[in-house]
Structure 1
Amino acid sequence: MPSYRTIMTVTTLAPGRSPEEVEQVARAVTRLESWDIAIAAGQPRVTARFAAVDDSEARATHAAIVGGVRQVADVPRARLAAVVRGRSHYLTT
Structure 2
Amino acid sequence: MPSFRATIQITGLRPGHAPEEVMDMAVFTVGAAHVVEANQLDVVAGVPRITVRFMVEASEYDAENQQARDAAASMAHGVNTVAVSGVLRLFRRSAGKWLAV
d(CA) in 2 for partners of 1:8, 1:33: 17
Q: Which has the higher strand share?
A: 2
Residue correspondences, number: 91
TM-score, normalised via structure 2 length: 0.83
Find the counterpart in structure 2 of residue 24 from structure 1: 24
Which 4+ runs in 1 deviate beyond 4 A?
Answer: none
Gaps of 5+ in 2: 58-63
Alpha-carbon RMSD: 1.2
Gaps of 5+ in 1: none
Structure exhibiting the larger radius of gyration computed from Cα positions:
2
TM-score, normalised via structure 1 length: 0.90
Aligned ranges for residues 1-93 of structure 1 at < 5 Å?
A: 1-29=1-29, 30=31, 31-53=35-57, 54-91=64-101
- The residue type paired with residue 66 of structure 1 is A
